[in-house]
Structure 1
Amino acid sequence: MNTSDTLSLCEQIISRKLITGDFLVIDFHQAPFGQVNGFLGDHSSLKITIERNSGHEKHTFFIKSIPTVKSQRDFILEINGFFKEKFFFTQFLDLLREHSITVLDDTIPTCYYTDGKIFAFEDLTQSGYTTLSCRSSLDLECVKVALKAIAKLHASAIVLEEKKSFRLIDAFSEELAETFYSDKETVKKAATSYRHGFNAFIDLTYNSRMKTSKTLLREKILEGYDRQKQFVKPSTTFRNTFLHGDLWTKNMMFKFEDGRPVNCVLVDFQSHRYGPPAQDVVAFLHLTTDQKFRQKHMEEMLHFYYQELDHVLTGFGLGGIITQDEFSTSCDFFRQFALTQKCIHLQVVALSQEIATELLADEKYAFFVLFENKYDFVFTACEKDELYKKVNFEAITELSQFYEDQL
């Protein structure tokens, strides 16, 4: 943006934050973040100084804009990511407010401005929120506060549907349409690339102690990957709701007091879809925790989430609208989806900042060139980043065991 455009944007952002036009913007500075925070948007900090009531005030905002890198920009536009996020922060939230559904007030960031290409959010770091590393498992207390936030998101849409006597998917079929598992050209390229990644990890981890042949295991895992398209369709068996669709560690921010998490805010709504709550919950638990954590706490956390969901719904007179048995059955159904989703995510997001910067700066490994063939990239990343290798090996091994247990 040029200076006049940025000044106009600053005036609009401040006006919406302060709910007044009685101020003067006297300075602003926008600076990109110095590290990789995601691949589907450019992120920066916008600092605005204003004069109001004979004094100076400084305000800071988080700015998210369409990527400047052509391959990334083409991808996010093709999957309608910014269109979907704009829908969430405008139409969906407006509907909730219209029906006095306020349970998300402490669970999502405030969006002060969007034109569908640029978003200006409150800077949560100014309120003590932080993003945790996706290269290590969340602890029990962080998982609990995140599950509370997720339960509020799911409950809000269920309450809205009951109040309006409609289904969100019928009213907003385009806005809630699945795009990450679609027939779009760049999505198909991504799918081919992830298949190469699966092949690489199968070759790296297969051993003779496994009960099935490498050929059959590869066939089962790749067939399972293709089934993701079926899992993300609205269910005809279980109750559906508004899903975040991308609940990994970088899409949530935590606030700590005395070393303990007291709240979680969900961010990045580019991937939302319509489906059963269990799809989000089981995927979240796999994407943010390691196998050891889930072996010890999985059932406990699923029960915790259900109690939180039912508690919010009970506050609106809707307790029991999703039964414990229905939720448990749906969790079992989505386990394969979650195990596969973890393997997909970790192929890229588990890289350290240093290795990501090094590899993705190389034209050979530039992010969306990876979408053409990720096989060699996986081998290179495993050689350079021991933790990347460890978490990915655990994920593919757990998925392999899932299929072996079925034989």
Structure 2
Amino acid sequence: MEAVKEKCANVERILSSQLKGIARDAGFDNWEVERCDVRPAAQGLSGFLGDHFKLDLHLRKDNTIRIIHLFAKFLPLLNIPKAKLVMESNFFQREALMYDLFDKLGVYNDQNPWCPKALRFNETLVVMPDLSYEGYRNVAKLECLDLQHVRAVVTSMAKFHAAFACYEANRNCDLQHPHSFYDEHREGLMDKSFMDSPWLRAAAKLTYNFLKEFSTKQLDRSVEKIMIELFIDTCNDLRQREDSLNVLIHRDLWTNNIMFRYDGTHPTDAVMLDFQCVRYGPPAFDIMIFLYLTTSRKFRLAHEMEVLNHYYTVFTHCLDDVTKGKLKDYNYGRWDLFNWCEKARRFAMMETLAIHPFVLMEEHVAEETFDNPDTFVKYNDEDRSGPVLKHARENETYRSRQLEHAEEFVDRYVYKLI
């Protein structure tokens, strides 16, 4: 409780000089700020690359009072080792780059934009409207998405990819020496986790230990070494490709990073949040990562081709003539997308195995496990098997979701190397 109070006090201090500007950017110019109420966004850890809060900004103009409801994300305020990791990995810088780009893309001219408009963003914070007051909500993190929800997300994803593809194609037409967005921002878009890193090796080690404890598959000790080598090799799958269209991809679309608006029980719109992990590469990687993070193997067997067809239809519908010509240059037809999705499958499965132990864990347990400065380095870089296996013994859904992916990864890729 004392830590929560200290975090909220830090948020109030950091924002004190910015509140009037935030109000102005939200459409309330010349309104006086009376106060700002700050509270945690969730009871526990709702995000892993920053501290999340909800703000109620109280404004007055003459005798009229308004309250603006906001969501804010900050560089970790008390966990120094985590804050250092987040800074060194450029997560907030990457997201600031995206929100600056979204203004150029004209995203907010759409009646139903696929991302929220940030009111403030820099290398330590992001402030935006609280979409829950606009009728949006998340799906519970341990639930798998059904076809209606998947189609809503894929529609937004296709619009995102198409908007960027059009931006880059048209920009390069105007340049004497065309170059990619990635060429300009290569260092900022570098992912320091999905490479040969202590974090990735710990993820592979955990996957092996998870299988040893919960799977009926017979795996000897050599599989741990194979798993580590596979994880490292798979990282190279996601990169800028000369033989494909390349776009910015979200690369982190698990359920907390997606909010839905509904007509009754039917999801009509999906908004993508948290662009801290964006990468540059073939669009297929975003689709497959999303499907593995949010759906079951049974769902993918039944609906994967339908989802890919829906994506391609929306994507091509949103392209201008210049960008459609670029697709022809790269032979990026419908079947080419299907082939790229198969190439992206291995990375999607590996990423899911790496981050599911974090994101599927209940918020209060995740906070105790992964937000403790005293154990952060140990669980991040050395071995997180202990707390993850403990929680998997206690929570059947947490266990079964991860076991299903781990066993599929073994079936598809590990057995070939034994």
By the TM > 0.5 criterion, same fold? yes
Deviation, 1:343, is 1.1
- Paired residues of 1:278 and 1:327 also in contact (CA < 8 A): yes
Provide the residue aligned with 2:138 in structure 1: 131
Counterpart pick for 2:37 among 29, 36, 49:
29
Deviation, 1:236, is 2.4
Counterpart pick for 2:229 among 223, 229, 234:
223
CA distance in 2, matches of 1:104, 1:341: 33
Is 2:91 the counterpart of 1:81?
A: yes
Counterpart pick for 2:51 among 23, 28, 42:
42
Give 2:47's aligned amino acid. Answer: G
Select between 284-293 and 31-40 the one with higher mean Cα deviation.
31-40
Is 2:195 the counterpart of 1:151?
A: no
Q: Label 1:102 to 1:55 Cα distance change in 2 as closer, same or farther (>3 A).
A: closer
CA distance in 2, matches of 1:328, 1:113: 38
Give 1:58's aligned amino acid. Answer: I
Deviation, 1:219, is 4.3
Counterpart pick for 2:185 among 172, 176, 192:
172
Normalising by the residue count of structure 2, what TM-score does the alignment of the two structures yield? 0.87
Matched residue count: 395
Provide the residue aligned with 1:196 in structure 2: 205
CA distance in 2, matches of 1:31, 1:226: 40
Q: Label 1:87 to 1:361 Cα distance change in 2 as closer, same or farther (>3 A).
A: closer
Deviation, 1:9, is 1.7
* Corresponding residue SS for 1:334: helix
Select between 29-38 and 237-246 the one with higher mean Cα deviation.
29-38
Q: Label 1:18 to 1:354 Cα distance change in 2 as closer, same or farther (>3 A).
A: closer
Provide the residue aligned with 2:168 in structure 1: 161
- Paired residues of 2:19 and 2:33 also in contact (CA < 8 A): yes
- Paired residues of 1:50 and 1:57 also in contact (CA < 8 A): yes
Provide the residue aligned with 1:254 in structure 2: 260
Give 2:161's aligned amino acid. Answer: H
CA distance in 2, matches of 1:84, 1:113: 14
Is 2:364 the counterpart of 1:351?
A: no
CA distance in 2, matches of 1:197, 1:3: 39
Alpha carbon RMSD of aligned pairs, Å?
2.5
Identity %: 24
Counterpart pick for 1:313 among 305, 315, 319:
319
Task: Extract unaligned runs of 5+ from structure 2.
Answer: 1-9, 173-177
Provide the residue aligned with 2:4 in structure 1: none
* Corresponding residue SS for 1:351: coil
Select between 291-300 and 349-358 the one with higher mean Cα deviation.
349-358
Provide the residue aligned with 2:273 in structure 1: 267
Give 1:204's aligned amino acid. Answer: E
Deviations 1:15-57 (A, max 9, x none): 111162x111112211122232111111111111111253111
Deviation, 1:332, is 1.0
Deviation, 1:6, is 3.2
Task: Extract unaligned runs of 5+ from structure 1.
Answer: none
Give 2:117's aligned amino acid. Answer: T
CA distance in 2, matches of 1:190, 1:305: 32
Give 1:274's aligned amino acid. Answer: Y
Counterpart pick for 1:9 among 18, 34, 37:
18
Q: How does 1:273-284 map to 2 (within 5 A)?
A: 273-284=279-290
Q: Label 1:375 to 1:3 Cα distance change in 2 as closer, same or farther (>3 A).
A: closer
Provide the residue aligned with 2:175 in structure 1: none
